[in-house]
C-alpha cells in the first residue's frame, strides 16, 4: 500500500506545515492566522496499486498423480478450446478402459441372449395356450359325442366314448400343465433378461468411470487462448495442487487493485473514470473505467483490502500478465 501511505504522508506534512505557519509549537505570542491562505480541499482522487490480468485465465493441474508422458505445447502457443496440452502416462488407465470395454461387450452379448430367451419363452407360452385351446375343444367334442350316443348304444360304444372323454380330459390337463410351465419359464426368462440389462448398465458405468479416469490424465485448454506459462517436462512426476500450465485469453486486459483499503473503498464507485500507469511501461498512461468493486474485504498483511476491477480503454503494446500498475480513480467525497 505504498501509494496510499504516500498520500497520507503528504497530507500529514501539509497539516504540520500549516500548524507551523500559524505559530503552533512556539513559545512566543500566538500569531494571527493569515486569512489569505485558503484551506486545503479534500482530495478528489484515490490512488491504489494494481496488477495486470487477462480478461480470462485458468491454472491447470492434474487431478491424480502420475508421470508426464507428453508435453504437446510450448509457452506462447495459441490453443483452441479442448486442445490437449499435457498428458500423463496412461498405460494403466488405458488398460482399465480396455477391460471395461470388453466387460460391456460381454454384458451386452449376455443381454442379447437373455432377450432372445424371453422371445422364445413367450413363443412357447403362445404355443402352450393354443394347445390348451385345442385340448379343450377335443374334450368338448368327446363329451358331446358321448352325450350324443343313442339310447340303444352298445356297451362297447359307451366304453369307447368314455375312453375318448377321459383321453381328452387327460390331454387338456397335460396341456394346462405345459402352459403353467411355459409361463413360469417366461417369467424366469424375463427376470434373467432384467438382470442382464442391469449388468449392462453397471458395465457401462464402469466404462464411463474408466474413461473419465483416462481423461483426467490429459490437461486440455478450457477455452481458446495463449499458453502463458508451462511447467511440465516429460518424465517428471506431477501431483494435484501444482499448476502445470496457465492459459490466458489476452484479447483484453483488466487491472485488479491490490491495496484499496477500507478508508477509501467507499469513495470508489462503479463507472468512475480512472487513469492507469504501468511500472514496466514508463511514460504510458491509459484511461480506464471502474467496472466492479468487491463487497467483501480480504485480509492482507494486517490490512483489509478490497478488489476493484478497472478496465482500460485501450491496451498498450507490451502488457504482460501480473505487471504492476498504478490506478488513480476520480473519487467521490
Of 85-89, 152-156, 215-219, 223-227, where does mean pLDDT reach its minimum? Answer: 152-156
- Total structural domains in the chain? 3
Q: pLDDT tens across 308-320, in order?
A: 999 999 999 999 9
Asked if residue 166 belongs to a domain, the reply is: yes
Residue 37 has pLDDT above 50, yes or no: yes
Q: What is the 3-state secondary structure (H, E, C) of the chain?
A: CHHHHHHHHHHHHHHHHHHHHCCCCCCCCCCCCCCCCCCCCCCCEEEEEEEEEEEEEEEECCCCCEEEEEECCCCCCEECCCCEEEEECCHHHHHHHHHHHHHHHHHHHHHHHHHHHHHHHHHHHHHHHHHHHHHHHHHHHHHHHHHCCCCCCCHHHHHHHHHHHHHHHHHHHHHHHHHHHHHHHHHHHHHHHHHHHHHHHHHHHHHHHHHHHHHCCEEECCCCEEEEEECCCCCCEECCCCCCEEEEEEEEEEEEECCEECCCHHHCCCCCEEEEEECCEEEEEEEEEEEEECCCCEEECCEEEECEEEEECCCCCCCCCCCEEEEEEECCC
Q: Give yes or no: residues 277 and 190 share one domain.
A: no
- Mean per-residue pLDDT over the chain, rounded: 88
Instruction: From 215, 239, 271, give the residue that closes a domain.
Output: 215
Q: Give yes or no: residues 252 and 193 share one domain.
A: no
Residue 93 has pLDDT above 70, yes or no: yes
Q: Give yes or no: residues 201 and 103 share one domain.
A: yes
Q: pLDDT tens across 284-304, in order?
A: 999 999 999 999 999 988 889
Q: pLDDT tens across 198-234, in order?
A: 999 999 999 999 999 999 999 999 999 999 999 999 9
pLDDT of the residue at 16 = 39
Asked if residue 5 belongs to a domain, the reply is: yes
Asked if residue 130 belongs to a domain, the reply is: yes
Q: Give the structural domain span for 149.
A: 91-215
Q: Give yes or no: residues 37 and 132 share one domain.
A: no
Q: Give yes or no: residues 273 and 288 share one domain.
A: yes
Asked if residue 220 belongs to a domain, the reply is: no
Amino acid at each position: 500500500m505504498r501509494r496510499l501511505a504516500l498520500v497520507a504522508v503528504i497530507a500529514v506534512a501539509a497539516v504540520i506545515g500549516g500548524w507551523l505557519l500559524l505559530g503552533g509549537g512556539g513559545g512566543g505570542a500566538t500569531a494571527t492566522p493569515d486569512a489569505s491562505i485558503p484551506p486545503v480541499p479534500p482530495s478528489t482522487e484515490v490512488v491504489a496499486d494494481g496488477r495486470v490480468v487477462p480478461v480470462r485465465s485458468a491454472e491447470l493441474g492434474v487431478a491424480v498423480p502420475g508421470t508426464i508422458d507428453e508435453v504437446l505445447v510450448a509457452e506462447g502457443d495459441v490453443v483452441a478450446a479442448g486442445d490437449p496440452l499435457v498428458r500423463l502416462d496412461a498405460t494403466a488407465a488405458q488398460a482399465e478402459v480396455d477391460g471395461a470395454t470388453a466387460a460391456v461387450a460381454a454384458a451386452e452379448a449376455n443381454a442379447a441372449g437373455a432377450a432372445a430367451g424371453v422371445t422364445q419363452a413367450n413363443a412357447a407360452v403362445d404355443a402352450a395356450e393354443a394347445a390348451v385351446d385345442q385340448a379343450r375343444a377335443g374334450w368338448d367334442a368327446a363329451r358331446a359325442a358321448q352325450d350324443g350316443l343313442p339310447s340303444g348304444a352298445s356297451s362297447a360304444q359307451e366304453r369307447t366314448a368314455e375312453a375318448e372323454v377321459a383321453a381328452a380330459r387327460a390331454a387338456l390337463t397335460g396341456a394346462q400343465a405345459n402352459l403353467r410351465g411355459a409361463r413360469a419359464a417366461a417369467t424366469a426368462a424375463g427376470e434373467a433378461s432384467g438382470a442382464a440389462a442391469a449388468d449392462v448398465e453397471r458395465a457401462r458405468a464402469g466404462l464411463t468411470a474408466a474413461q473419465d479416469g483416462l481423461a483426467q490424465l490429459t490437461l486440455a485448454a478450457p477455452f481458446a487462448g495463449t499458453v502463458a506459462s508451462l511447467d511440465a517436462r516429460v518424465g517428471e512426476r506431477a501431483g494435484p495442487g501444482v499448476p502445470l500450465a496457465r492459459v490466458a485469453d489476452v484479447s483484453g486486459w483488466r487491472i485488479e487493485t491490490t491495496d484499496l483499503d477500507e478508508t477509501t473503498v467507499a469513495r470508489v464507485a462503479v463507472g468512475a473514470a480512472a487513469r492507469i500507469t504501468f511500472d514496466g511501461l514508463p511514460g504510458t498512461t491509459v484511461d480506464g473505467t471502474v467496472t466492479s468493486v468487491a463487497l467483501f474485504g480480504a485480509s492482507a498483511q494486517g490490512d483489509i483490502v478490497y478488489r476493484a476491477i478497472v478496465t482500460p480503454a485501450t491496451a498498450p503494446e507490451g502488457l504482460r500478465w501480473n505487471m504492476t500498475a498504478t490506478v488513480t480513480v476520480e473519487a467521490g467525497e
